[in-house]
Amino acid sequence: ADELQGDRVGMTAGGNIVADTIEAGTGAADSGDLADRQSIDLVSTGGSVTVNTAQAFGAGHDIDIRAANALTANSLNAGGTLVGRAGDAIAIGAATAGEDVALRSNGSTITVTGATTAGDDVLLTAAGAIATGSVTASGTGPDTRTVTFGAGALDAAYAAETNPGADIVVNSTGASTTANGAVTAASDVTVTAATSVTHLATTTATAGNVTVNSGTSTQLVGDVTSGVNTTVTAGTTAALQQNVTAGGNYTVTGGTGVTLGDAQARTQAAGGAVTLTATSGDVAKGAGRLTVVSNSDLAGTEALTITATNANIVLATSQLTGGSIAGRESDVVLSASGAITADDLDGDRV
Residue 153 has pLDDT above 90, yes or no: no
Residue 56 has pLDDT above 80, yes or no: yes
Q: Is the pTM of this model over 0.85?
A: yes
- Rounded to 10 degrees, the C-alpha dihedral 199/202/207/213 comes to 20
Percent of the chain with pLDDT over 70: 100
- C-alpha 32/C-alpha 144 separation (Å) is 11
Q: What is the mean pLDDT of residues 24-32?
A: 90
How high is the pLDDT of residue 47? 98
- C-alpha 54/C-alpha 52 separation (Å) is 7
How high is the pLDDT of residue 27? 87
- C-alpha 26/C-alpha 16 separation (Å) is 27
**Mean pLDDT over all residues of the chain?**
96
Confidence of residue 4 (pLDDT cuts 50, 70, 90): confident
- C-alpha 294/C-alpha 313 separation (Å) is 18
Residue 325 has pLDDT above 70, yes or no: yes
How high is the pLDDT of residue 152? 85
Percent of the chain with pLDDT over 90: 93
What would the pLDDT profile of 163-206 be if each residue is shown by its tens digit?
899 999 999 999 999 999 999 999 999 999 999 999 999 999 99
What would the pLDDT profile of 84-120 be if each residue is shown by its tens digit?
999 999 999 999 999 999 999 999 999 999 999 999 9
Residue 326 has pLDDT above 80, yes or no: yes
Q: Are 242 and 265 in contact (CB under 8 A)?
A: no
Residue 1 has pLDDT above 70, yes or no: no
- C-alpha 3/C-alpha 24 separation (Å) is 11
Which distant-in-sequence residues (6+ apart) come within 8 Å of 72 by Cβ? 48, 49, 50, 51, 89, 90, 91, 92
